Structure 1
């Protein structure tokens, strides 16, 4: 690889990581700065460099920006209407007594498809505590099961923003990724349950009474679940409001979640099986991700809120969702800008040629990149986007199936969630663990999922090519 292009890549990536980890600026600025640094060192003329950045930003968001925003809005309505809680109770009834941990894992896996896992844990953790008290189950076991279930689909199944962004950046078919990511999530559920059953009882005695008020005053239902952190304040807000959430029919709650997914999958299947027919043309329209999620949002808005909910309230939910989705959209666009600079400057092609001889299967390149980025800066979403951005030229030139590349980038971001990851604090503080026990609880779980995903990626690569 030419030294100038190698230097451009290394310094550009270093700039991204340094800005995210050590400055007050975020991943959006870091990725744009990395694109600028890479382009300048690679010798791209300044006027062309700006054009590459704006083109990459715009092209990426043209395909994925609307979908991210709509997906987050559906999740917000599901969260605020009580739909998420209804799904949790349905899975508990289905699993039966003695399998509460299985029910919590399955609930988390379903809820986290449209809802951010941090919010999902805040919403559902009171239910986990209630089950622990009622049936004498270890609280850590149920908390781990819930957190693991939320994490699986958050990392693997669109329209969660990270996988959705990776789909756009790597040019994969969304329906195929939903199917493959869903199957991979199902296989990982027993991994979550097993780890929760092994580690939960061992860590239960290390619960901190200051973080779990009912240990100090049994049955108090205190609102001070967290302490001295953002997650603590979130717990203070979440506890009083949880009982006040309206009861929603769980089958109704599932409609806005399943309908868009079925339409998108229907588009993929009909295109493959009946291309050129009227049915395929219909699904091409309604199964377009933006249209499918728009339909899902309309259903959610008019079906989930209880009768009499003011229009202003629902609009407030959607406004809040748009605000939370905004930064994900920007980061995704910046990742597209960085990727365009890598392609147009020749860095991507040079990198592809350089790593072609490495003793590592090409489908693992996104996995490796995501692993290092996740360890460096903590955010799984940023790790997915960065891995998809940097690996796109390599996997495309190597002929790696785009779906496998997306799953590889997403699975690599599981690794060792620690103090730089906000979800680490939400899970451990709401549960009542700190220090080494917190690391064994959640850092251990996330790393086990990372390791368990490796053989599944190998199988996916064999099947999809």
Structure 2
């Protein structure tokens, strides 16, 4: 057993070392960890390569299409103005004086199909407009938006992390969506309360210029962030000289990031259809599987509610429903091509996580870990939570933390009889902890808002750590319900 546990420890150390101290990314790190673990565990080299390729292929067979389609829907929603339309709807529903509630709820909805960093860039001009128009703290409104985006990004499929965890633990996707949504709802008031508490206290620390930029959630930001005096400009915008040489952060359409965004070209109802339709089909499949078992209707729901089919339908509807009249075919194809490119890294990382998991299962390391963990003075269902927390702090990406946690703990959860949905919730909630300099979203949120140094950490590192702590009692409740 000692050799097996040593193999696991050195394999995980290899993953962290590659991500933190080399020019290689999480994809290579997870493959390296799988190879190190297998060699030390005594797996013959030819069999080891077979386990890696089998795990990679089997994982992508179940999830690769879904990730790609989910990212494409998000891109169409982003480019067509649908995300902005949803934001304005929530602001109207919340009412004056509750702009922070509106932005948090908007973020929670938009981040289901749209990556949270892109969602923040899209919606932050609206947050600035609300703060200026109603005299609210900019930090409060920005933090409420960022927190809402982060919660559902970490908790609800089809975002890649929760989706991969559901696949790894063998959980029903519809049940995970419902459980993730129910888990997220109590966290929204936590976001709003912390934003209202810390926002006014950090407002005096706002810089006069708030440059920012977006990066892929899985791409590690430099450990020390952008160099002093430089903008972290991503594909979402550009920087130009403003009055008296002041840097002005601009969106893709050339608007100053601080200006009030234009009226969305489409309505919120229309924008919500490609987002809600796949979710309804997937959940409908889960709801009818038992009630209509063996019937023709159940077969129809099983086909339409298959995640790949449901998202394909949502994408087809979105492509023809959301773009403005006169949008050329080449423009829409350009959106989809860009989405496919951004989804590629997530797909590769997910596949590499599956390869690592296959090596753990076939080498016996997973069984050895299960036997060792059974003696820990910690409830078994918290194991994915603990692993995800450590991995998130070590390398910064919530998606990688979820995938790594699910990969390492899936054999243990299966042996211990832990409900798969509960295991997914544990891995996802653990990945929220303490976002700081090695997380690209940290830089997106703090730079766009206009905070740096200790104020930036109080804003975003404090928020994510509070959400992590708040998820613990919710996991306890989930454990009582799911058993």
Shared fold, TM over 0.5: yes
Aligned mates of 1:81, 1:394 — CA distance in 2: 44
Aligned to 1:330: 348
1:261 and 2:285 are equivalent in the alignment: no
1:353 and 2:379 are equivalent in the alignment: no
Residue 240 (structure 1) shift = 4.4
Aligned mates of 2:331, 2:252 — CA distance in 1: 20
Checking the alignment, whether the CA contact within 8 Å between 2:211 and 2:232 is kept in structure 1 is no
1:188 and 2:165 are equivalent in the alignment: no
Higher helix share: 1
From 457, 461, 465, the counterpart of 1:443: 461
Aligned to 2:320: 302
Where in structure 2 are there 5+ consecutive unaligned residues? 213-227, 238-248, 256-260
Aligned mates of 1:298, 1:463 — CA distance in 2: 37
**C-alpha distance 87-288 of structure 1, shift in aligned 2 (>3 A):** same
Residue 212 (structure 1) shift = 7.1
Question: What is the RMSD computed on CA atoms of the aligned residues?
Answer: 1.5
**C-alpha distance 311-153 of structure 1, shift in aligned 2 (>3 A):** same
Checking the alignment, whether the CA contact within 8 Å between 2:84 and 2:264 is kept in structure 1 is no
Can you list the C-alpha shifts for 1:43-98, whole angstroms capped at 9, x where unaligned? 00001000000100011111111000000000000000000000000000111111
* SS, match of residue 121 in structure 1: helix
Moved over 6 A (4+): none
1:453 and 2:455 are equivalent in the alignment: no
Aligned to 1:147: 146
**C-alpha distance 393-212 of structure 1, shift in aligned 2 (>3 A):** closer
Aligned to 2:230: 228
Residue 210 (structure 1) shift = 2.9
Can you list the C-alpha shifts for 1:87-123, whole angstroms capped at 9, x where unaligned? 0000001111111000000000000000000000000
Where in structure 1 are there 5+ consecutive unaligned residues? 214-225
Aligned to 1:168: 167
Alignment of structure 1 residues 171-250 onto 2, 5 Å: 171-211=170-210, 228-231=230-233, 234=236, 236-238=249-251, 240-241=253-254, 243=261, 246-250=264-268
Aligned mates of 1:237, 1:13 — CA distance in 2: 41
1:339 and 2:357 are equivalent in the alignment: yes
**C-alpha distance 101-118 of structure 1, shift in aligned 2 (>3 A):** same
Aligned mates of 1:254, 1:271 — CA distance in 2: 26
Aligned to 1:218: none
**C-alpha distance 41-360 of structure 1, shift in aligned 2 (>3 A):** same
Checking the alignment, whether the CA contact within 8 Å between 1:231 and 1:430 is kept in structure 2 is no
Counting matched residue pairs gives 452
Alignment of structure 1 residues 367-386 onto 2, 5 Å: 367-386=385-404
Can you list the C-alpha shifts for 1:342-373, whole angstroms capped at 9, x where unaligned? 00000000110111111111110000000000
Aligned to 1:223: none
Checking the alignment, whether the CA contact within 8 Å between 1:83 and 1:248 is kept in structure 2 is yes
Can you list the C-alpha shifts for 1:11-53, whole angstroms capped at 9, x where unaligned? 1110000000110000000000100010000000001000000
Aligned to 1:404: 422
From 437, 445, 451, the counterpart of 1:433: 451
Residue 230 (structure 1) shift = 2.5
Aligned mates of 1:208, 1:132 — CA distance in 2: 16
Residue 227 (structure 1) shift = 5.8
Aligned mates of 2:229, 2:343 — CA distance in 1: 27
* SS, match of residue 251 in structure 2: helix
Checking the alignment, whether the CA contact within 8 Å between 1:227 and 1:233 is kept in structure 2 is no
The TM-score with structure 2 as length reference comes to: 0.92
**C-alpha distance 227-464 of structure 1, shift in aligned 2 (>3 A):** farther
The TM-score with structure 1 as length reference comes to: 0.95
